[in-house]
Structure 1
Amino acid sequence: MNAGAGGRAAMLPCPVLLADIGGTYVRFAVLADPAQAPSPLWKVETADFTGPTAAIRAYGDRRATIRPRSAFLAVAGKVDGAITRLTNAPWQFDPCEIGKAIGLDAVRLVNDYVPLAAVLTVLDEAAPADLVRIGGGAERTGTRLVIGPGTGLGAAALIPAGDRFLIQTTEAGHIGFGPCARDDDLPWSGLLPAVGRLTAEAVLSGPGLVRLARATGAARGLPTAWEAPSEILTVAGTDAVAGETVRHFTHLLGRFAGDMALVFSATGGVVLAGGIAPRIIAALRTPGFHAAFEDKSPFRDAMRGIPRFVISRPEPSIDGLATLVRDGARFLFPSRDWRRVEADQGPPALATAG
């Protein structure tokens, strides 16, 4: 990383364009002033545009949009090179190119789980509109972990460091995944040929839910016609295969979340985000999820004490980006930064922002 270990990136000048860019949807807002709430929110499908510059221009053409001076882009991909690419869509990001094309003074790229980790510092655990508790022990201090099955599967840790927080991004969705118990009767052989190497994301994501439903139906001799995860979730209460699929998904998500909690010693809690978790809260409160989460012998007692939540705030990533702009000195996180004064000095620096 450039900018020195633990170095601080310069503040982004307001108004700041905030963008949460995933493989399926893009969400935009503008933070005109740190004391204000970001607005107006605009949600569009990623596939409707050829890339980030075209989408940003379309947002800027809307009547109510304030012209930004800088852009803070959270992208669902690995931010570690001069060019960043979405993992599950064909967009690519060159902050220098974006900055020049839009006429900005600065552009910052981060992984999309950086703002989801940051927003944990402002969510109210007593407010159901922010967080829904699904189980575990009482509030505790320590590292918090956010995990989100959506178009892909992301995870990041929020690690206390004195009076600041370190945000550790991961590529946890791409670890290998498979059976680990004798009574695991999932049709693993039906999942593996469809995707080659089986990863956590290949099962614990929107496409993974569809894949799991097809494999489950085939194993029961019941062909399925579902094409989207929303179709499965809508009928999970009435269709046997859909219901079984959600139970399998919930069990596996509990297993994965518990494994990640062990990896990061997430005593402060595990928080589920993404598009799927808020729709299966009832299933996440059942014993299947929690038994899988806690079945980490010899650490079952410790696992039982870890609090578990689902983010219910509607646009947590946009709020997380706004939090990082307002209170950036509290956080250390990896980012890719470009500023106009550096336009002719080679590729943008990979900084540890804060």
Structure 2
Amino acid sequence: MPTSYEIDHTIAFPVLIGDIGGTNARFAILSDAYAEPKEFPILATADFSTIDEAIQTGVLDKTSLQPRSAILAVAGPIKGDEIDLTNCDWVIRPKVMISDLGFENVVVINDFEAQGLAAASLGQEYLKKVGGGEIRPSTSRVVVGPGTGLGVSGLVHARHTWFPVPGEGGHVDMGPRSKRDYELFPLYETIEGRVSAEQLLCGRGMMNIYRAVCKANGVKPAAKTPAEVTAHWADGSDPAAVETIELFVTYLGRVAGDLALVFMARGGVYLAGGIVQKILPALNQPRFREAFEDKAPHSQILKTIPTFVITHPLAALSGLAAYARTPVRFGVATEGRRWKA
């Protein structure tokens, strides 16, 4: 294992890239630095007992390419030779991958670092702007992604290099502001007494809001899953679902604005994941940007910062591919996160 700060720019092709979430795992192979990624069917993590089994069955058995390197983005802290995933039973053991799957080296980074790499490399065709503001070149950016959990990463530009900054920003505190908030916050499910951002801004967070709204309104919940909430919101058939999505985008705007201030993200705030793509019409309504900009005494700063929805269907894989092709563009620290044969 490396013993000092290390950024290694040597990546041997072909490269397996993987985005490992709590629910799904997405893989692709780059045969060389100029090739488009060869994508494989999305795998449900619950269908495989280990990531090694998923890679062997879902990828290696379906191609004649033998990857020499693997770059994996995972939802969880990267510590030691056994990496537990936050919302999945898989444990990643890079040394075992090298011995059993034939890789020469394995790099493991945080899943939202990969989203940060995407925010630095995606073309405008994959970015849907929400509200005002303009990108200031070579300035910090933030990625916020409600999904199985709430992922957050920063992206700092220095010395002509993008440095992704992983963290656990999804677990910051949330508090009530409006009269309706004060009615609902006592009804939200907490985690050890806290209402964190992730308790409201992810799939289960959406259900947390929905159940609280139903309880406050004295009605029986009609939706049992986030997909049902968004469906009822879309067709307007359930007033509680409509209010849930309105609150969801308001809370997301507040958190995104807070993080924009933390990073002074004049390069923009980028919303990632399937949930935000599904509720894009709600994000385009004024309440998201109003909540984002409502940061006295710095509201004028927030008005200048743009916000985008990332619409690429495999954004994290796109970010990993950009890193694999030109690692010198990105300051991805590999200390303690790269294993070699």
Q: Relative to 1, partners in 2 of residues 1:211 and 1:182: Cα closer, same or farther, differing over 3 Å?
A: closer
Q: What letter corresponds to residue 135 of structure 1 in structure 2?
A: G
What TM-score do you get using the length of structure 2 for normalisation?
Answer: 0.93
Separation (CA, whole Å) in 2 of partners of 1:195 and 1:221: 26
Q: What letter corresponds to residue 297 of structure 2 in structure 1?
A: P
Paired residue for 2:25? Answer: 26
Could you tell me which of 198, 215, 221 is aligned with 1:218?
215
Q: Does 1:257 align with 2:253?
A: no
Separation (CA, whole Å) in 2 of partners of 1:315 and 1:258: 25
Separation (CA, whole Å) in 2 of partners of 1:322 and 1:156: 18
Note the 1:132-281 alignment, pairs <5 A. 132-141=128-137, 142-181=139-178, 184-185=181-182, 187-193=184-190, 196-237=193-234, 238=236, 239-281=238-280
State the identity as a percent. 38
The superposition leaves residues 38-74 of structure 1 with CA deviations (integer Å, 9 ceiling, x where unpaired) of 1133201111111211111112354345221121110
Aligned residues of 1:195 and 1:202 also touching (Cα < 8 A): no
Separation (CA, whole Å) in 1 of partners of 2:107 and 2:84: 14
Q: Relative to 1, partners in 2 of residues 1:257 and 1:207: Cα closer, same or farther, differing over 3 Å?
A: same
Separation (CA, whole Å) in 2 of partners of 1:85 and 1:233: 31
Q: Relative to 1, partners in 2 of residues 1:65 and 1:291: Cα closer, same or farther, differing over 3 Å?
A: farther
Paired residue for 1:339? Answer: 340
Aligned residues between the structures: 336
Q: What letter corresponds to residue 314 of structure 1 in structure 2?
A: P
User: How much has 1:76 moved relative to structure 2?
Assistant: 0.8
SS in 1 for 2:135: coil
Separation (CA, whole Å) in 1 of partners of 2:56 and 2:63: 13
The superposition leaves residues 262-283 of structure 1 with CA deviations (integer Å, 9 ceiling, x where unpaired) of 1111011001001111111111
User: How much has 1:160 moved relative to structure 2?
Assistant: 0.7
Q: Relative to 1, partners in 2 of residues 1:284 and 1:186: Cα closer, same or farther, differing over 3 Å?
A: farther
Paired residue for 2:4? Answer: 4
Separation (CA, whole Å) in 2 of partners of 1:303 and 1:173: 20
Q: What letter corresponds to residue 146 of structure 1 in structure 2?
A: V
Give the gaps of 5 or more residues in structure 2.
none
SS in 1 for 2:145: strand
Separation (CA, whole Å) in 1 of partners of 2:2 and 2:39: 34
User: How much has 1:89 moved relative to structure 2?
Assistant: 1.5
The superposition leaves residues 216-253 of structure 1 with CA deviations (integer Å, 9 ceiling, x where unpaired) of 11111112143321111111031211111000000000
The superposition leaves residues 271-304 of structure 1 with CA deviations (integer Å, 9 ceiling, x where unpaired) of 1001111111111111111111111111000100
Aligned residues of 1:236 and 1:242 also touching (Cα < 8 A): yes
Aligned residues of 1:147 and 1:154 also touching (Cα < 8 A): yes
RMSD over aligned Cα, in angstroms?
1.8
Moved over 6 A (4+): none
SS in 1 for 2:301: helix
Q: Relative to 1, partners in 2 of residues 1:186 and 1:29: Cα closer, same or farther, differing over 3 Å?
A: farther
Q: Relative to 1, partners in 2 of residues 1:57 and 1:196: Cα closer, same or farther, differing over 3 Å?
A: farther
Note the 1:90-109 alignment, pairs <5 A. 90-109=89-108
Q: What letter corresponds to residue 324 of structure 2 in structure 1?
A: V
Separation (CA, whole Å) in 1 of partners of 2:55 and 2:193: 35
Note the 1:13-92 alignment, pairs <5 A. 13-64=12-63, 66-92=65-91
SS in 1 for 2:266: coil
Q: What letter corresponds to residue 4 of structure 1 in structure 2?
A: S
User: How much has 1:186 moved relative to structure 2?
Assistant: 5.0
Aligned residues of 1:149 and 1:206 also touching (Cα < 8 A): yes
Note the 1:309-320 alignment, pairs <5 A. 309-320=308-319
SS in 2 for 1:184: helix
Aligned residues of 1:145 and 1:155 also touching (Cα < 8 A): yes
Q: What letter corresponds to residue 171 of structure 2 in structure 1?
A: H
Give the gaps of 5 or more residues in structure 1.
341-354
Q: Relative to 1, partners in 2 of residues 1:193 and 1:117: Cα closer, same or farther, differing over 3 Å?
A: closer
Separation (CA, whole Å) in 1 of partners of 2:158 and 2:279: 33
